[in-house]
Amino acid sequence: MARSKSSNRWLGEHFSDEYVKKAQQEGYRSRAVYKLEEIQEKDRILQRGMQVVDLGAAPGGWSQYATQVIGQQGRVVASDILPIDPLPFVEFVQGDFREDAVLAEILKLLKDEKADLVISDMAPNMSGVDAVDQPRAIHLCELALDMAKQVLKPKGNFLVKLFQGEGSEAFIRNVRESFRIVKIRKPAASRPRSREVYVLAQGFML
């Protein structure tokens, strides 16, 4: 089947992308690592010994980076509906975290302790139709926020990918109700024409 022009353009951009090349050279699973790295350098959300929950973790780049920062005393519990190849010091739960059994497994791996940080780089499978894609993307953000509220300890932090558009301002208002500080970050590794930003929420209030 012939590829569309937009598909060919994306492939061309992808393989000439400096962050794709850098990820390959440095042994990371995805270019998305550099988004988290830049946020970490600015905001220091990852610290040694932390318990971190990584939602929508596949292919595992964010978990891979997080373990390097938090060290072996910390713990990363990752989840995705897709499988990922095993990573050292990452405990992975495959499945939909909205399902009780999957949530129970995540909580079990946290050893019934609360998490210091919830991170989510989730995005829907894009159809190219904004009226379809944007509500799906906002829904994933809302699911990640609900999860964060369940597993975060007081004063814990939350980082989530958000696509700007219909519903994004309402989502940010919703986040502000549960966190003391809310910042918007647009890392250099985010493609300039992408509407994605990252919402960093700090100081979870029960």
- Catalytically annotated residues: 161
**What is the amino acid identity at position 197?**
V
43 labelled ligand-binding: no
80 labelled ligand-binding: yes
100 labelled ligand-binding: no
User: Kindly report the CA angle at 184 between 178 and 98, in degrees rounded to 5?
Assistant: 50
Summarize the annotated binding site for S-adenosyl-L-methionine as residue ranges: 60, 62, 80, 96, 121
Summarize the annotated binding site as residue ranges: 60, 62, 80, 96, 121
